[in-house]
A = this chain, B = another copy of it.
């Protein structure tokens, strides 16, 4: 049995490794159009800031991966077509085209940055951050071109993570965001906390603002950024972080169905609409565990799980991925910013009557050193009291509470349950009433 995997980052390598473990007799071939595989995409900002190295970000080189898992790795091999009827793929390498048959195919083609069609976008020193190659390019520019003024277009998670990275490198940072708040998926009042923190760090932040033109010098190097409101901001380097889109051209051409999100539609087994073709990772949809509707929310942790499931099932096993809560967390300077589940607006769209509770609670006992306040907003279903969403912003202890609440949402716990759960208490770690319990208690009164 031959299993072919297209794409060699998180989902692709997870799928390959798991398929081989599931069925050691199978032949596994991994096609990757780029030169790198198996690198930690989420670690790229930390590579750029110098917190970690390229070698540490690359979990396995192609050679290491091939040897470690006994999998054939074909880098710089671009798959150009899937032929489902004859169960073949066509690929290109060094300008030569070839065909190969598969028994099972896993599409793990990932996602690509959305590059807005702004005049001057093709100037030098305007880059997204998606691939290791992007990161190496950004780092090279910083090391060799001595940029001083950085503009970040888009104040989502990647944009703000990169603001921290550039800040660590002592660069002047301007952030331009089209929406009226940073982190557009967060509630306005919660996003305000992050905004104030960015201003405390002397970041120039422009909301309700758009780039209208990138201006270059005679060498086609970026010089400044012009905006809708008439600003002309000196800029030696611009990061484009305005979102990503799933890479579905190959799948679509082959007749594999995509969902409303544009990503490949899959079932719990990661099977697509065409037999023997699976999809996993950033190119594929998942299921929203609260609404039970398809959702596209590409993240490394989900890519790992989906890849693993796809690999196991392709190799003859049987496993499933139930879905996601769109749980996300990020470090933005000194803050930890996290979200899970659905928002009030999403609840209303799905005909759920939402109740929200906002509290501020201590990370641990008040008399223990390094006391920090945690800002916590929970969304509950008024009909049955179940928690369906949460946003948490603060310092120490935020990551703990988002994981407790993610587990609670997965488990369909109610506000009353949050009070009941026997969370661990000792002064360095929590208070006798943990923030999650307080959230439940306060909400219970409203239900």
Q: Which residues of A contact B (CB under 8 A)?
A: 10, 40, 42-43, 46, 51-53, 56-57, 289, 299-305, 321-331, 336, 338, 340, 365-369, 399-400, 402-404, 406-408, 410-411, 413, 417, 419-430, 432-434, 436
Contact = CB atoms under 8 A, between A and B. Distances in A.
Contact of A327 (B331, B404, B422): B422
Copies of this chain, complex-wide, total: 2
B425 A367 contact: no
Given A43-B365, A52-B368, A429-B336, A301 B407 contact: no
A329 B429 contact: yes
Given A411-B411, A428-B331, A420 B300 contact: no
A376 to B, nearest CB: 14
Contacts of A403: 400, 403-404, 423-424, 434, 436
A423 B56 CA distance: 23
Contacts of A305: 419-420
B399 A424 contact: yes
B325 A422 contact: yes
A367 B56 CA distance: 6
A133 B403 CA distance: 39
A22 to B, nearest CB: 11
A301 B433 CA distance: 7
Given A40-B367, A299-B425, 20 more contacts: A42-B432, A43-B427, A51-B368, A52-B368, A56-B367, A57-B367, A301-B422, A303-B432, A304-B432, A323-B420, A329-B424, A329-B426, A340-B422, A400-B400, A403-B434, A406-B421, A406-B423, A407-B413, A407-B423, A408-B411
A374 B279 CA distance: 33
A53 to B, nearest CB: 8
B289 A425 contact: no
A324 B434 CA distance: 15
Contacts of A425: 42, 299-301, 327, 329
B417 A410 contact: yes
Residue among A303, A322, A338 with the highest chain B CB neighbour number at 10 A: A322
Given A367-B46, A407-B411, A327 B423 contact: yes
